[in-house]
Amino acid sequence: MDTPMQKKHEDAQKEGENLQNTKSLINQIQDLETAFQKDGLIKFTAAAKFQAAAAQGQDNVSGVIPPYMLEELAKRNPNVPGFQETLEKTILEPRFWPFPSKDYKGAREVYDAKGEESQPGEKARFEGDKATGNSEIDNAYDFTGQVRSFYKEVLGRNSIDGKGMKFISTVNYGENYENAFWNGKQMTYGKPSANSPFKTFVLLDVCGHEITHGVTEKESHLKYYGQAGALNESLSDIFGELIQQRANKTQAKDADWVVGDGIWKDGIKGRGLRDMLHPGTAYDDPKIGKDPQPAHMKDYIKTTRDKGGVHLNSGIPNRAFALFASSVGGYAWEEPGKIWYAARAQAGSNPSFAQFAYQTIEQAKKLGFEKDVDKLKKAWDEVGVKPSASETDTSTPVKSEEPRSQNGWTPMYNEQINTKKSKPAA
Ligand SMILES: [Zn+2]
């Protein structure tokens, strides 16, 4: 059954496919820029581009460095040219939506954009090709191989879409492009500039995180707002981390539970982007700010920014998973990973934390892990989440015009402009 929103989404998708050059988008941006300046409302920033993208029915891609972090980095590092630019460009990046694919057996294709903003770029290393000696190209190739083998061997899944979709990656994307993203079709990695606090974006758990967004999209159409969105982010963190733990044969008790370890240059006080076991402690440095993630429901961040705090409140379910995996012991991808994978498929498109927690318990029983249900309940209890089949997300503020779409597609609205003057959520 097609809702008007789904119809709009499909039309936008078609348009997005034809809109690679974003020409009409740029015209709209210019119109908006003029309007904003005339009204003297706000200085023209990413907000106008956000609006223009929204007017096109286009969603922004999901980058590994969230918008609030790029804003913070832009403020703190005026000598790094890339942050504001990356923020604006990530927002303009056309977002593609699930499309039918044939079975390419998850073949890998790595391209080199050579500092241009082109996708996919020049052919660099395809399935079966020898190593190139270029670490970004070879890592992108090897890491997607790890992601592919994780989904295939642990979860019996044939690539991202379950139908053997190719794993396409582009490295060295753009000049001063300080992010990595999944656009529905492929992975794209920028390259940090000389003064950037980032060392690289080509990291195994980053690759696993972004590609898992693709799996989540295909699997459950999980909404990208509020608690459902924070679960979407959390699932990407969890599976990105599990893929890395499996590649390194790390047991839960020995895992660091840090997402994006190795992303910061030496001298930056940070272990990574997020700490799943101890949310809010991943980084604290004048150049990058402080990790804002809450670890417990009592500190839940009520905001409409960051899609209702998707990269912020994900700390809460992340910690529940890490606590549960630590209490079960052994390899976290075996029992805990399978429970979370099954729960995602069964939790619907807009679960609250409570409903998702309920599903993990249901799936643990179904999968024959009855013996650990008490540990699971304890883990959720420790982060202040009470499992419930019916309790919806009442913690996230929702704009009245915020549509509750069934397909996970959340159009953009005025939040960036309205909250510009208020204190950033971070
Ligand atoms: Zn993400």
Place of tokens 């969890």: 238
Residue 103 and residue 203 in one domain: yes
Of 112, 12, 92, nearest to 45 (Cα)?
A: 92
CA-CA distance, 423 to 426, in Å (whole number)?
Answer: 8
C-alpha angle 187-193-198 in degrees, rounded to nearest 5: 70
Residue 390 and residue 339 in one domain: yes
CA of 323 to the centre of ligand 1 (A): 21
Q: Which of 71, 136, 210, 362 is catalytic?
A: 210
How high is the pLDDT of residue 8?
52
- Would residue 160 count as lying in a domain? yes
Q: How far are the Cα atoms of 48, 310, 384 from residue 350, in angstroms, in the given order?
A: 28, 13, 20
- Would residue 28 count as lying in a domain? no
Residue 64 and residue 206 in one domain: yes
- Note if 278 is an active site residue: no
What residues have a C-beta under 5 A from ligand 1, the ion?
62, 233, 236
How high is the pLDDT of residue 10?
56
Say if residues 272 and 283 touch (Cβ distance below 8 Å). Answer: yes
Residue 212 and residue 306 in one domain: no
Residue 270 and residue 352 in one domain: yes
pTM of the model: 0.81
- Helix or strand run (H / E) with residue 374: helix 373-382
CA of 371 to the centre of ligand 1 (A): 32
CA of 195 to the centre of ligand 1 (A): 25
| Residue 90 belongs to domain with CATH number | 3.10.170.10
pLDDT per residue over 354-394, tens digit each? 999 999 999 999 999 999 999 999 999 999 999 999 999 98
CA of 404 to the centre of ligand 1 (A): 20
Cis omega (within 30 of 0) for bond into 120: yes
Residue 362 and residue 306 in one domain: yes
How high is the pLDDT of residue 256?
96
- Would residue 9 count as lying in a domain? no
Say if residues 95 and 108 touch (Cβ distance below 8 Å). Answer: no
Place of tokens 């961040």: 301
Range of the domain at 256: 226-401
Say if residues 42 and 153 touch (Cβ distance below 8 Å). Answer: no
CA of 274 to the centre of ligand 1 (A): 11
| Residue 315 belongs to domain with CATH number | 1.10.390.10
CA of 240 to the centre of ligand 1 (A): 10
- Picking from 219, 253, 283, the residue at the C-terminal end of a domain is 219
Say if residues 239 and 212 touch (Cβ distance below 8 Å). Answer: yes
How high is the pLDDT of residue 217?
82
CA-CA distance, 342 to 340, in Å (whole number)?
Answer: 5
How high is the pLDDT of residue 219?
80
Going residue by residue through the chain, which has 426 residues, state the pLDDT in tens, using 9 for 90 and above: 445 555 555 555 554 444 434 445 555 555 555 555 554 443 344 445 555 554 444 455 667 888 788 888 988 988 887 888 887 777 667 666 555 678 899 999 999 999 998 889 999 999 999 999 999 999 999 999 999 999 999 999 999 999 999 999 999 999 889 999 988 889 999 999 999 999 999 999 999 999 999 898 888 778 888 999 999 999 999 999 999 999 999 999 999 999 999 999 999 999 999 999 999 999 999 999 999 999 999 999 998 888 889 999 999 999 999 999 999 999 999 999 999 999 999 999 899 999 999 999 999 999 999 999 999 999 999 999 999 999 999 888 875 444 333 333 333 222 222 222 223 222
CA of 322 to the centre of ligand 1 (A): 18
Tally of structural domains, the chain? 2
How high is the pLDDT of residue 170?
97
Q: Which of 109, 136, 311, 335 is catalytic?
A: 311
Say if residues 407 and 368 touch (Cβ distance below 8 Å). Answer: no
How high is the pLDDT of residue 210?
92
